[in-house]
Amino acid sequence: MANTIEDALPEEKRSLNFIESIIEEDLSVNKNDSRVHTRFPPEPNGYLHIGHAKSICLNFGMAEKYQGKCNLRFDDTNPEKEDTEYVDSIMEDVQWLGFQWDKEPYYASDYFEQLYDWAVLLIRKGLAYVDDQPQEVISQQRGTPTRPGTESPFRNRSIEENLDLFERMKNGEFPNGSRVLRAKIDMTSPNMHMRDPVMYRILHAEHHRTGDQWKIYPMYDYAHGQSDYLEGITHSLCTLEFEVHRPLYDWFLDQLIETSYRPRQIEFARLNLSYTVMSKRKLLELVKNKIVSGWDDPRMPTIAGLRRRGYTPASIRAFADRIGVAKRDNVIDVGLLEFSVREDLNKITNRVMAVIDPLRLVITNYPEGTTEWVELENNPEDPAGGTRQVPFGRELFIEKDDFMADPPHKYFRLAPGKEVRLKGAYVIHCENFDTDIHGNPATIYCTYDVDTKSGSGPKQPKVKGTLHWVEASQAIDAEVRLYDRLFMDEDPAGHKDRDPLEFLNPDSLKVLRGCKLEPALKSAKTGEKFQFQRIGYFCVDKDSQSEALVFNRTVSLKDNWAKVSAK
RNA sequence: UGCCCGAUGGUGUAAUUGGCAACACGUCUGACUCUGGAUCAGAAGAGUUUAGGUUCGAGACCUAAUCGGGCAACCA
């Protein structure tokens, strides 16, 4: 097996990103006893995507690099949106990427009791109050970013009354939306999040873990920092939109905690990929509208989709490595992701013969009714890859693209009167061809020269082109699915007043049937990856059955001829 | 009209007590090749948003402006 990509990038030669700088600074002053403890905190309300992969690689990566730990914590404070289906898929995806969290997965819901006690403490300190106003009124009183808010008439009620009301909220005495618990901070703060943020809302809902035990649920801002604290998190990495939440994150901890240990929130820029939408909401829309077959449709930027598409964990980790991490907005060329898979797949996949758009070819001077076996290398990139036997005979299939009746200049493939090498077999000479009723080539007639046999033949003429092929009588049929980007616009979600769905690529999936494969592929298993010689990287889809193979194209091979011929 | 954050080749990321801008992807040459793949060699492409300031010296520090992003869920 070839080396992994990571081995090629010596760690010590790389400079630090801004998060590593912060960590090393903290380490140098022995902050938090020089521990490094991170966490990946997904809400179990959807599938993980490549943007999460960036965060996963970052969080687990930092822990790994500094001999620390990384927790997996489900941020499950909103029972209306969350489900165990997502919990399971998230655990699967994180592990598939090659990471293992510290101990068992954590849940914010494990801290509901503690969070409640702390809320009571805040009320006792006069720092939280129950507001009876409806949502619309509270929202109006909050003001706007440019105008300060106004205080709630309930802001200064007695601690006893607050305690009583809050307990009754917890006991389920009030209907949804009738009251909230708010932190008493500053309604005139220039930071909207400090204007008496809601800490608890009443929700009579079934929680995926606590069932109907709770009638009130903490808000993100109130739950997150304290959860970090309870787990001993030192560096709480999140995306940029939480930057303005940080003062609130710190405020709660400062009111509640007396020890010197403190988690620190650090924000980084989320990943954007060209020609891709990344928000869970939009991805969900694709699934719901049946534009894709599901969360794991190979065109989806979800981890599950990429996995089914044939991406390897190593390639995604290498990608995350290459894109780096910073605080400025960024759009990564989706080509970089493709580069990362090609790089990995080139090293690890076996080459096989597959003709996805078959054209019949007859070698007229090859003895009828006989076949022979030729030896082919499995993987030229891997010296230990070995060889295999592939049948060769009088009737073959070649790629339609590999023959032209009237070829342009610099076309190195087959054309009347021209010669090519059949990979691993013989040099053939094209004599003539038949056409079908539409005038398209139907059968190509060639002659071969026995002396040019690959490797052993006494004659080894220089020919410009080498074609892949499949012997007709033993070929097996398969379905091949060719994927292309889902959107034709570089930034489908970046247009005001235009729905990303307007930019859908109508050709994002092409299904090819009757593709011809060399017989060895008969036993290919779901998920198994190959390079179809001269075409691209493919893997066996889960829709495959033993007599009806289905392959997904992960990514095509880099194709210089396509570029040249397009000019 | 407030507050917060950001600004370095086409894209992304570097430049670690301030010392003549580096790496990757992409692009373009060429070599090699029984994959028009891979590999190898090389090239072009930024003077770091702008204007001031500090300094012998600024991408880095300071000030202002410009541009971009974020902030007004009982979402996370």
The full DSSP string for A36-91 is: -EEEE---SSS--BHHHHHHHHHHHHHHHHTT-EEEEEE----TTT--HHHHHHHH
Give the end-to-end CA distance of chain A in Å, rounded to a whole number.
39
Query: Taking a C-beta distance cutoff of 8 angstroms, is the pair A370, A494 a contact?
Result: no
Each residue of A118-165: pLDDT tens digit? Answer: 999 999 999 999 999 999 999 999 999 999 999 999 999 999 999 999
Q: What does the pLDDT average to over A371-378?
A: 96
pTM of the model: 0.95
Strand B contact residues in chain A (180-219), C-beta within 7 Å: 180, 190-193, 198, 201-203, 217-219
Q: Does the C-beta of A315 come within 7 A of strand B?
A: no
Strand B contact residues in chain A (444-483), C-beta within 7 Å: 453-455, 457, 460, 465-466, 468
Please tell me the predicted confidence (pLDDT) of residue A497. Answer: 80
Q: What are phi and psi of A460, to 5 degrees?
A: -125, 70
Strand B contact residues in chain A (96-115), C-beta within 7 Å: none
The whole-angstrom distance between residue A131's C-alpha and the CA centroid of its chain comes to: 42
Strand B contact residues in chain A (508-527), C-beta within 7 Å: none
Q: CA dist A49 to A32, A300, A305, Å? A: 32, 8, 8
**Distance between CA A549 and CA A98 in Å, rounded?**
28
Task: Give strand B nucleotides closer than 7 A to any protein Cβ.
Answer: 1-8, 10-16, 24-28, 34-39, 68-76
Q: Does the C-beta of A154 come within 7 A of strand B?
A: no
Each residue of A475-521: pLDDT tens digit? Answer: 999 999 999 999 999 999 988 788 999 999 999 999 999 999 999 99
Q: Give every CB contact of residue A181 below 8 A, 6+ residues apart in sequence.
A: A119, A123, A128, A129, A130, A131, A166, A169, A198, A199, A200, A216
Q: For tokens 């390639």, name the residue.
A: A315
Question: How much of chain A, in percent, has pLDDT values that exceed 70?
Answer: 97
Closest residue (Cα, C1') to B36: A561
Q: Which stretch of A250-259, A271-280, A311-320, A452-461 has the lowest confidence by average pLDDT?
A: A452-461
List the A80 CA – B39 C1' distance (angstroms).
55
Closest residue (Cα, C1') to B69: A329
CA dihedral for A402, A405, A411, A414, sign (positive or negative): positive
Please tell me the predicted confidence (pLDDT) of residue A11. Answer: 41
Closest residue (Cα, C1') to B3: A190
List the A146 CA – B66 C1' distance (angstroms).
21
pLDDT band at A14 (very low <50, low <70, confident <90, very high): low
How many helices (DSSP H) and strands (DSSP E) are in chain A?
Answer: 13, 25
Each residue of A58-115: pLDDT tens digit? Answer: 999 999 999 999 999 999 999 999 999 999 999 999 999 999 999 999 999 999 999 9
Instruction: Return the closest nucleotide (C1') to the Cα of A140.
Output: B72
Query: Taking a C-beta distance cutoff of 8 angstroms, is the pair A260, A472 a contact?
Result: no
Q: Does the C-beta of A78 come within 7 A of strand B?
A: yes
Q: Does the C-beta of A17 come within 7 A of strand B?
A: yes
List the A333 CA – B46 C1' distance (angstroms).
19
pLDDT at A3 over 60: no
Beta strands in A61-215 (DSSP E): 69-74, 106-107, 128-131, 180-183, 198-202
Strand B contact residues in chain A (218-237), C-beta within 7 Å: 218-221, 223-224
CA dihedral for A192, A197, A202, A207, sign (positive or negative): positive
Of A326, A311, A435, A226, the closest CA to residue A19 belongs to: A326
List the A328 CA – B67 C1' distance (angstroms).
14
Q: What does the pLDDT average to over A297-312?
A: 98
Structure tokens at A63: 């822990």
List the A316 CA – B71 C1' distance (angstroms).
32
List the A46 CA – B75 C1' distance (angstroms).
13
List the A63 CA – B27 C1' distance (angstroms).
38
Closest residue (Cα, C1') to B14: A15
- Give the H/E segment covering residue A539: strand A536-540
Q: Does the C-beta of A280 come within 7 A of strand B?
A: no
DSSP sequence for A225-276:
HHHHHHHT-SEEEEEGGGGGGHHHHHHHHHHH--SS---EEEEEPPP-BTT-
Q: How many CB atoms lie within 10 A of CB A439?
A: 8
Beta strands in A384-492 (DSSP E): 387-393, 395-399, 419-422, 427-435, 441-448, 466-467, 470-471, 476-483
Query: Taking a C-beta distance cutoff of 8 angstroms, is the pair A31, A70 a contact?
Result: no
Q: What does the pLDDT average to over A318-335?
A: 97
Each residue of A537-551: pLDDT tens digit? Answer: 999 999 999 889 999
Q: Does the C-beta of A394 come within 7 A of strand B?
A: no
Q: Does the C-beta of A442 come within 7 A of strand B?
A: no
Q: C-alpha dihedral over A48, A54, A59, A65, to 10 degrees?
A: 140
List the A426 CA – B60 C1' distance (angstroms).
63
Q: Does the C-beta of A243 come within 7 A of strand B?
A: yes
Question: How much of chain A, in percent, has pLDDT values that exceed 90?
Answer: 93
List the A329 CA – B58 C1' distance (angstroms).
25
Instruction: Return the closest nucleotide (C1') to the Cα of A268.
Output: B5
Instruction: Give me the active site residues of A, please.
Output: 43, 270, 280
Instruction: Return the closest nucleotide (C1') to the Cα of A42.
Output: B76
pLDDT at A379 over 70: yes
**At A452, is the secondary structure helix, strand, or coil?**
helix
Q: What does the pLDDT average to over A327-355?
A: 97
